[in-house]
Amino acid sequence: MGWTEITTGTPQLTLTNTGLLEWNTALQIKLGNPAWVNLMWDPVERRLGLRGVYAMDGLPVCAEPDKSEYKIDSSGPLTAAGVSVDQTVSAEPDQYPGDHIEDWAISNTIFYITLPE
């Protein structure tokens, strides 16, 4: 019998209708396993994203690794930025600046989902 790779699955980012931003272990690993994240917003494209940071800057990550859950309460910052949250949106996040980045630049990568109008 041959070896089979065990993976963390597909990255998933979810914004709930209550303003909670949640993600799974696969995305936490892609973010660089940070304890802090920056919440990012592109109002023209309606893209909401996360960027891992490695200092006490941004929002602290509430980690529940035994449940494969990571989250931040983003309701306050979203309200301050004028972002309305009417429905839960969940998707495999896209990357900015894209898929072809160097490992050293992973902390500059934004993983985002596009919110409906």
pLDDT tens, residue by residue, 37-59: 999 999 999 999 999 988 888 89
pLDDT digits (tens, 9 = 90+) for 65-115: 788 899 999 999 999 999 988 899 999 999 997 555 554 444 578 999 999
Q: Say what the pTM is.
A: 0.85
> Torsion over CA of 29, 31, 35 and 40, rounded to 10 degrees?
-150
What are the φ/ψ torsions at residue 65 (nearest 5 degrees)?
-60, -30
One-letter amino acid at 43 equals P
Would you tell me how many other CB atoms lie within 10 Å of the CB of residue 58? 19
pLDDT at 10 over 80: yes
Cβ atoms within 10 A of the Cβ of 51, count?
21
pLDDT at 17 over 90: yes
User: Residue 62: is its pLDDT beyond 50?
Assistant: yes
The pLDDT of residue 98: 59
Model confidence band, residue 6 (pLDDT cutoffs 50, 70, 90) = confident
